[in-house]
């Protein structure tokens, strides 16, 4: 049985993430979404909130589970016996970034393989920072994020004033 991990901050979860999750779930026996904290970014939602959004959005995918992780992704992968790391690529900048991370992960654990999936063209421009900006100014997020996330993001940013 092949266990794959799709790590990320998912702050917020996007339809692009969901597309990658659905595609990866068809490729591997088990897919674990690892919700982490990006230490270089200021988060909008807590890890528990992000887990809840993802669980609600992937409920129809029986081989997908969601866990909070902290620390090195390769250590988390060893704990759950995962051998494949799934990443999404939107553009050449993502490729350069992910290439370095894949090399480091391979150096830390030679049993970890990284699989990169190209983002669907309709989501290649979507980023967390752009979504927050659109939400902050009242833009329509319905084609970009799941409904539960659109509502929560709008409410959170309105409350921050």
pLDDT in the model for residue 42: 73
Closest CA to 33 of 87, 71, 79, 75: 87
The 3-state secondary structure of the chain reads CCEEEEEECCCCCCHHHHHHHHHHHHHCCEEEEEECCCCCCCCCCCHHHHHHHHHHHCCCCCCEEEEECCCCHHHHHHHHCCCEEEEEECCHHHHHHHHHHHHHHHHHCCCCEEEEEECCHHHCCCCHHHHHHHHHCCCCCCCCCCHHHHHHHHHHHHHHC
pLDDT in the model for residue 159: 78
pLDDT in the model for residue 161: 62
Annotated binding residue at 106? Answer: no
Distance CA(151)–CA(141), nearest Å, equals 9
pLDDT in tens, 14-68: 999 999 999 999 999 999 999 997 666 678 999 999 999 999 999 999 999 999 9
Closest CA to 55 of 71, 70, 68: 68
pLDDT in the model for residue 138: 87
Strands 113-118 and 84-89: parallel
Annotated binding residue at 76? Answer: no
Annotated binding residue at 41? Answer: yes
> How confident is the model over 84-111, as a mean pLDDT?
96
pLDDT in tens, 120-141: 999 999 998 899 889 888 899 9
Q: Give the N- to C-terminal CA distance of the chain in Å, as an integer.
A: 48
Total Cβ atoms within 10 A of residue 119: 20
> How confident is the model over 59-88, as a mean pLDDT?
97
pLDDT in the model for residue 136: 86
pLDDT in the model for residue 87: 98
pLDDT in the model for residue 132: 86
pLDDT in the model for residue 38: 67
Annotated binding residue at 125? Answer: yes
Share above pLDDT 70 across residues of the chain, in percent, rounded to a whole number: 97
Q: Which residues are catalytic?
A: 17, 41, 90, 128
Share above pLDDT 90 across residues of the chain, in percent, rounded to a whole number: 84
Q: What is the pTM of this model?
A: 0.93
Closest CA to 151 of 5, 27, 12: 12
């Amino acid at each position: 049985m092949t266990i794959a991990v799709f790590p990320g901050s998912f702050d917020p979860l996007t339809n692009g993430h969901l597309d990658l999750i659905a595609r990866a779930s068809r490729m591997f026996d088990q897919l674990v979404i690892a919700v982490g904290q990006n230490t270089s970014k200021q988060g909008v939602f807590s890890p528990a909130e992000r887990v809840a959004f993802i669980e609600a959005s992937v409920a129809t995918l029986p081989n997908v589970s969601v866990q909070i992780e902290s620390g090195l992704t390769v250590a988390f992968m060893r704990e759950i016996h995962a051998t494949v790391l799934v990443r999404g690529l939107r553009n050449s900048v993502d490729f350069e970034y992910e290439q370095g991370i894949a090399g480091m992960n391979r150096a830390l654990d030679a049993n970890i393989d990284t699989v990169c999936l190209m983002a669907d063209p309709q989501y290649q421009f979507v980023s967390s920072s752009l979504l927050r900006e659109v939400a902050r100014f009242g833009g329509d997020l319905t084609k970009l994020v799941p409904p539960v996330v659109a509502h929560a993001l709008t409410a959170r940013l309105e409350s921050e004033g």
